[in-house]
Amino acid sequence: MTLLDGKKTSEDIKNEITAQVSAMKSRGEKVPHLAAVIVGNDGASLTYVGSKVKACERVGFESTMVRLPSTTSETELLKKIKELNQDDNIDGFIVQLPLPDQIDTQKVLMAIDPTKDVDGFHPENFGKMALDMTTFIPATPFGILELLERYNVETKGKHTVVIGRSHIVGRPMSILMGRKGFPGNSTVTLTHSYTKNIAQITTQADIIITALGVPNYLKAEMVKDGAVVIDVGITRVADENNEKGYVITGDVDFENVSKKVSHITPVPGGVGPMTIAMLLKNTLLAREQRRNQ
């Protein structure tokens, strides 16, 4: 069994980006600048945005964190997005989700300039991705592709089963795994909460990508020998034996599933670190595109 080590791979990617940024600096070019907008005080979101800012420092990017109170109106947030769209110093920016109830998330995502949408959530970028055009791929699916590529996991002609149809992971993953090229060229089944006999489908899969958010959902009897398992799930499960009072658990019953498979991602340390690395990669791409304009 090969562990698809997202921690190590993400460090490799950051080292590669650091070298590219150093080369940009030595040529006297502007370095990439990523901004992150966060509304409110959600603990998990603050931690996540904080780690993105740290990652920017690590590779030599400039970064800006825009913190707005939880009482921010939709109009105020849209005004801030317009400012960021028009700021030539900023190459890419993200709006951290979830947003407070008074704000329409779809409206906010639509307002972001597609050329600065390094999260890859704007319909224009999603459409380009679906049509195999060069664009920003959402960071988590992009990270999964990168893991499959760097570990040379064969995807051509394989049966990939995606569990979960979110716009952030499941749906883009189902499109990307079916595209021409590597990783891709696989036959994709997209499953969700209304899928009947899901275990019957997963036992036929060569590759399973699960993004449900249900701890230990995928059991050993649902997986065939030698399959590849990518676990995107990340849930805090209460555990009084742990000093933090919880453990981070994926969608996969790792202990038992890992005994049957050829490749598997751990949680934590699998897909999570890759997401931030690919956000940096998208920001570098945004900088290069702006330079070439």
Alpha-carbon distances, residue 54 vs 39, 61, 90 (angstroms): 19, 10, 17
For residue 287, say whether it is annotated as part of any ligand binding site. Answer: no
For residue 119, indicate whether it is catalytic: yes
| Cβ-contact 182, 155 below 8 angstroms | yes
Helix (H, G, I), strand (E, B) or coil at 94: strand
Residues near 210 by Cβ (< 8 Å), separated by ≥ 6?
A: 162, 163, 164, 217, 218, 229, 230, 231, 232, 233, 251, 252
Catalytic residue among 5, 14, 91, 96: 96
Tokens describing residue 5: 């080590």
For residue 96, indicate whether it is catalytic: yes
For residue 165, say whether it is annotated as part of any ligand binding site. Answer: yes
For residue 104, indicate whether it is catalytic: no
Catalytic residue among 5, 14, 52, 281: 52
| Cβ-contact 40, 100 below 8 angstroms | yes
β-pairing, 33-39 vs 228-231, is unpaired
CA 9 to CA 67: how far, in whole Å? 30
Q: Report the residue count for the chain.
A: 293
Catalytic residue among 5, 119, 231, 251: 119
Please state the residue numbers annotated as binding site: 164-166, 234
Detail the residues annotated as belonging to a binding site for NADP(+).
Answer: 164-166, 234
What positions carry a catalytic annotation? 52, 96, 119
